[in-house]
Structure 1
Amino acid sequence: MTQAAFELPTANGAFRAARIAFVQSLWHRHIVDQAHVGFIEAIGERGFGPERIDRFETPGAFEIPLHAQSLARTGRYAAVVAAGFVVDGGVYRHEFVAQTVIAALMQVQLATETPIFSVVLTPHHFHEHQVHQGFFGAHFRIKGQEAAEACAGTLESLARLAAA
């Protein structure tokens, strides 16, 4: 990442080190935590240290957009990453929840002009056994890494736009 992507302007025209907010839901925490691990690893490889990433937790995925919006509006964060695992708990509502969360995150991004990255995922089938827990844990780690790549690329692109 370029140095400009690491900085945010202040009110007096100076610049300060950028921070990233990472918001995650607590449902299936052991799986969702892997998105955070993957994100920290991959963003760290681009020179963005873990000390500049603030982690926030929500009870479930439905609460993530409000937290993302509140964090984005503070002006302290160059980006917000959202992670959650929305599963079919036997009552057909998981697809609606996932769709609502993703749509709300897009609205937050457009309204605040703060990049929002989603690792809010809903599996086609999930069961509480070791095989699925291992598979989805590994999948979330990869998706966290991919979110870091998207975050770094977007922050670099926005820094170039701001300098133009």
Structure 2
Amino acid sequence: MQPASTIPAAALPPAGLRYAFVHGTWHADIVGRGRDAFLAEMARHGVPATQIDVIPLPGAFEIPLHAQVLARAGRHAAIVACGLVVDGGIYRHDFVATAVIDSLMRVQLDTGVPVFSAVLTPHHFHEHAEHQRYFADHFVVKGTEVAQACLRTVASLHQLQR
């Protein structure tokens, strides 16, 4: 795992903004690690959990519509998506992953609200302890990284709009 970096106060967005974190619950034990790491990193940079709406969903495919509804409502400075799309042996995962990522990009471009993806799509995920452990640890890193990207991007957009 990477050491956590600190974002300088001057590079942080204004206090009091709300954020949304939408996540799939398929493989909740793994994806939950990303959610927890995101919340911890946001708190480390002064954004308490009370300013983050966490929305669990059945899977990754449901994330883009929720992101769109949240973005259009205009209450969140940014939306973060988190999920795990695994190869079940029928290649459906490629279509789901593409649909989710493309749709998240469309939501942010159509609404002007930044949308971040920690939706991971490993090609060789197997239901055994080694992969469970590896991807659980990997989601901790991704949760931390997406929180940092979220804060930096919101701050940058805030500066551009001044």
Aligned Cα root-mean-square deviation (Å):
1.5
**Unmatched runs of 5 consecutive residues or more in structure 2:** 1-8
Deviation for aligned residue 1:3: 9.5
Q: How many residues align?
A: 154
CA separation in 1, counterparts of 2:151 and 2:11? 11
Counting only pairs closer than 5 Å after superposition, residues 25-64 of structure 1 correspond to structure 2 as 25-64=24-63
CA separation in 2, counterparts of 1:46 and 1:6? 11
TM-score (norm 2): 0.90
1:54 partner letter: D
Deviation for aligned residue 1:5: 2.1
CA separation in 1, counterparts of 2:105 and 2:14? 23
CA separation in 2, counterparts of 1:104 and 1:128? 28
Counting only pairs closer than 5 Å after superposition, residues 10-25 of structure 1 correspond to structure 2 as 17-25=16-24
The 10-residue stretch of structure 1 (94-103 or 40-49) with the greater mean CA deviation from structure 2? 40-49
CA contact (8 A) 1:4 1:159 kept: no
Match of 2:108 in 1: 109
TM-score (norm 1): 0.89
For the pair 1:85 / 2:90, whether they are aligned, the reply is: no
Match of 1:11 in 2: none
Match of 1:140 in 2: 139
**Unmatched runs of 5 consecutive residues or more in structure 1:** 8-16
String of CA shifts for 1:107-128, please: whole Å, max 9, x gaps: 0000110000000011121111
1:106 partner letter: M
Q: Percentage identity across aligned positions?
A: 52
CA separation in 2, counterparts of 1:26 and 1:88? 16
Deviation for aligned residue 1:47: 1.1
CA separation in 2, counterparts of 1:19 and 1:6? 10
1:105 partner letter: L
- Among residues 5, 16, 19, which one is paired with 2:13 in the alignment? 5
Match of 1:14 in 2: none
Kindly report structure 1 stretches of 4+ aligned residues shifted beyond 3 Å.
1-4
